[in-house]
């Protein structure tokens, strides 16, 4: 298990990962501070109604992801990986700043939530091209035997962006108190996100294009319409990629939902919920890197299946802890959930990348990732709020998680078969269908 990476490869992993951390921090702080956002933009005496309205806007941000994934994927396959995913972080920074400065409903009336919806859509558009671009960019810069490690570190860093958001929430609640947070403190993370986003954009300007794209450009093997090619020739691969996203994106949605879930339904203090959120994402972040590294030595599809089985068992046991909503049992539950989902989180992205040839790889990864996250991750907090309200049971989210686990297992099996077929089938157009060397 000797790891040998060049300085250029290490630099690429570090700089790309930093950008992913900062952009995901900007996107996820909306969910983490949803309780305060709902107060300012969706005034209503019923807390459940406010939550549903707030998380509906949250879900809209995810629904914009497919368009972003397809749009930036098209540009990434046609004009270069670097330019496409560098622009996404600039777009995210600007929209995040505007949310932080947006007047409330009490100030400008119904215009406020409409502008919030628009800015959330812009954020979704941006992040739809960001994650897929960073994944493809990193994978194409690394040798095959170390791609799992590189993508594992990337997704560890992206997940750390969530932990960073929770940490900021904890520090702010601890230092200025709940009253100040409601009044103005909730805006600070968005202003911080803008500054970090600009730093990320400047960092990415110094990264070189991937060798694989430069080779395709040199040999005139670029697709003129990669988006159309993707849907014509790779619909099975696209379906498998979307299914692979199910449980990982849903669980991220669950962790982002935790501060609201614990405070509204289980009466935890907001300061405490942010701390629990930080711990869950830190565990998930670190272990994602480890299982990414492990996927270089264990078949990634098999590893994903193992993760699904472990997740099903742990979530069944864990949700019983909510029958006794004590601090200790909640910590145990969250830690176990984070450990189990990290197995899938460490390998699914590279599995999706390996489904598609270089000429449509950015488009394939972008569409699979963003559509999957939009369907499963974006709707997760809204579904959780709805099923709890409908069934009057804090354990109700477990059934949705189980459904998503089943879908990811199907995706892992399908991916294994499709990659095996590609490796053993001869195609006339080698430039179109050859996977990474």
Q: How many CB atoms lie within 10 A of CB 98?
A: 17
Half-sphere exposure (CA, 13 Å, Cβ side) for 178? 9
pLDDT at 392: 78
Residue bearing tokens 């549903």: 52
Report the predicted TM-score, pTM, of the whole model to 2 decimal places: 0.79
What local confidence, expressed as pLDDT, does residue 105 receive? 83
What would you measure as the largest C-alpha separation in the chain, in angstroms? 66
Among candidate residues 130, 102, 131, 105, the one with its CA nearest the CA of residue 118: 102
Phi/psi of residue 347, nearest 5 degrees: -130, -15
Tokens (6 digits) for 95: 């929209």
The per-residue pLDDT for 8 is 73
CATH topology of domain 7-433: Growth Hormone; Chain: A; (1.20.1250)
Q: Tally Cβ neighbours within 10 Å of residue 293.
A: 20
What is the reported pLDDT for 322? Answer: 59
Give the integer Cα–Cα distance in Å for 300 and 123. 31
Give the per-residue pLDDT at 352: 92
If one counts every other C-beta atom within 10 angstroms of the C-beta of residue 233, the result is 16
Q: Is residue 158 within 8 Å of 248, Cβ to Cβ?
A: no
Are 118 and 254 within 8 A, CB to CB?
Answer: no
Give the pLDDT of the chain (437 residues) as one tens digit per residue.
556 667 777 777 877 787 778 777 876 777 778 778 877 887 766 666 676 777 677 677 777 878 888 888 877 888 877 777 778 888 888 988 998 899 988 888 888 888 888 888 888 888 778 788 888 888 888 888 888 988 988 888 888 887 788 788 878 888 888 788 888 888 898 888 888 888 878 877 777 777 888 888 788 777 777 778 888 888 899 999 999 999 998 988 888 777 777 777 777 777 777 777 778 888 988 999 999 999 999 999 999 999 999 999 988 887 776 556 566 777 888 888 888 999 999 999 999 998 888 888 888 888 898 888 888 887 787 788 888 878 877 778 888 899 999 999 999 999 888 876 665 554 333 333 343 43
Check residue 46 and give its pLDDT: 61
Alpha carbons 382 and 295: distance in angstroms, whole number: 33
Q: What is the pLDDT of residue 436?
A: 40
Half-sphere exposure of 274 (CA within 13 A, CB side): 21
Asked whether the beta carbons of 253 and 381 are under 8 A apart, the reply is: yes
């Amino acid at each position: 298990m000797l790891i040998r990476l060049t300085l250029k490869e290490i630099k690429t992993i570090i700089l790309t990962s930093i950008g992913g951390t900062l952009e995901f921090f900007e996107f996820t702080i909306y969910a983490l501070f949803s309780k305060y956002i709902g107060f300012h933009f969706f005034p209503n005496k019923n807390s459940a109604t406010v939550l549903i309205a707030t998380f509906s806007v949250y879900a809209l941000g995810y629904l914009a992801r497919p368009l972003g994934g397809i749009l930036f994927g098209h540009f990434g396959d046609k004009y270069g990986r670097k330019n496409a995913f560098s622009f996404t972080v600039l777009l995210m920074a600007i929209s995040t700043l505007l949310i932080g400065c947006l007047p409330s409903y009490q100030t400008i009336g119904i215009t406020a939530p409409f502008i919030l919806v628009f800015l959330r859509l812009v954020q979704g558009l941006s992040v739809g091209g960001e994650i897929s671009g960073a994944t493809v960019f990193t994978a194409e810069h690394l040798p095959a035997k170390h791609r799992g490690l590189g993508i594992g570190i990337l997704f560890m860093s992206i997940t750390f962006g969530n932990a960073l958001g929770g940490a900021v929430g904890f520090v702010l609640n601890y230092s200025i108190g709940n009253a100040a947070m409601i009044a103005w403190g909730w805006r600070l993370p968005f202003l911080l996100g803008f500054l970090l986003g600009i730093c990320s954009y400047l960092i990415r300007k110094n990264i070189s294009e991937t060798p694989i794209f430069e080779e395709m450009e040199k040999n005139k093997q670029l697709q003129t319409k990669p988006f159309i090619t993707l849907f014509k020739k790779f619909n099975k691969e696209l379906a498998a990629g979307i299914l692979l996203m199910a449980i990982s994106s849903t669980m991220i949605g669950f962790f982002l939902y935790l501060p609201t879930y614990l405070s509204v339904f289980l009466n935890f203090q907001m300061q405490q919920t942010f701390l629990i959120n930080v711990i869950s994402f830190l565990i998930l972040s670190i272990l994602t890197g480890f299982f990414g590294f492990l996927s270089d030595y264990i078949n990634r599809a098999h590893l994903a299946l193992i993760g699904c089985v472990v997740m099903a068992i742990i979530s069944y046991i864990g949700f019983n802890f909510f029958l006794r909503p004590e601090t200790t049992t909640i910590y145990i539950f969250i830690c176990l959930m984070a450990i189990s989902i990290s197995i899938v989180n460490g390998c699914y992205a590279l599995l999706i990348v390996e489904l598609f040839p270089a000429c449509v790889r950015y488009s394939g990864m972008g569409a699979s990732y963003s559509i999957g996250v939009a369907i499963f991750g974006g709707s997760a907090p809204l579904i959780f709020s709805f099923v709890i309200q409908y069934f009057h049971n804090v354990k109700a989210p477990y059934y949705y998680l189980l459904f998503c686990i089943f879908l990811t297992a199907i995706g892992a099996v399908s991916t294994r078969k499709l990659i095996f077929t590609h490796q053993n089938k001869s195609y006339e157009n080698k430039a179109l269908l050859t996977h990474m060397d």
